[in-house]
Amino acid sequence: MNLILFGPPGVGKGTQAARLASTYDLHHISTGDMLRSAISSGTPLGQTAKRHVESGGLVPDDVIIGLVREVLQDDISKGRGFLLDGFPRTLEQARSLDSLFDDLGIEDVRVVMLDAHENELVQRMLKRGEETGRKDDTEETIRHRLHVYEKQTHPVKAYYDARRKVDMVNGLGSVEEITGRIIKQLESASAPEPGV
């Protein structure tokens, strides 16, 4: 199984992704983590990404698509399952990902959407900003990221709804509760139907 974990900033994708990757032995691919690490080591990718990430905007599609393509090709060549966290974030990324899946013959992909109310998302990101010093977790940048999500990323849900089953999961509750809900959705939907 391969997974796409989708949802607004602050909903807990990173935390859940790490837990699910360990449960299902998947390679956790977080585009946000990859960009933050490129920025802190000052690589060419980091230099391109810095102003976008720090202002809460999106890194250009061609940059991020190229990056994800390389990682996925490597996973497939090693026969490793993957979990995408924070990608796709635009319709262009979703379309490119589908054509990459076609090229690489990847069929077993599940989409999970985690969601929570905007006020909860803002509170969680402000708290994370205080605890970790993450530069884009300030009130103004958080508001901008939520706006970018509504405008550019939320349409990806309709794109998937028209093409694949999307498992909707409530992102409110303890970390353990939410992981439990996701696993339940994934396993109930993949269980063979009685008598089949």
Residues that bind ligand AMP (CB under 6 A): 9, 31-32, 35, 52-53, 56-59, 64, 86-87, 89, 93, 136, 145
CB of 28 to ligand AMP, least distance (A): 12
- Using DSSP, state whether 74 is helix, strand or coil: helix
The active-site residue, picked from 13, 36, 124, 181, is 13
The one catalytic residue among 19, 50, 124, 145: 145
- Considering the complex, state which of residue 147 and residue 184 has its C-beta at the smaller distance from ligand AMP: 147
Which of the residues 89, 110, 124, 181 is marked catalytic?
89
Active site residue 89: yes
The answer to whether 50 is a known catalytic residue is: no
Respond yes or no: is residue 184 known to be catalytic.
Answer: no
The 3-state DSSP composition of the chain as helix, strand, coil percent (nearest 5) reads: 60, 15, 25
3-state secondary structure of 170: strand
Rounded to the nearest 10 degrees, the angle between the axes of helix 139-148 and helix 118-132 is 130
Identify which of 136, 111, 127, 115 has the alpha carbon closest to the alpha carbon of residue 53: 136
Asked if residue 89 lies in contact with residue 155, where contact means CB atoms within 8 angstroms, the answer is: no
Residue nearest to ligand AMP (CB): 32
Rounded least distance, CB 108 to ligand AMP, Å? 22
Q: Is 143 a catalytic residue?
A: no
Question: Roughly what angle, to the nearest 10 degrees, separates helices 61-77 and 44-55?
Answer: 120
Taking the complex as a whole, the smallest distance from the CB of residue 173 to ligand AMP amounts, in Å, to 20
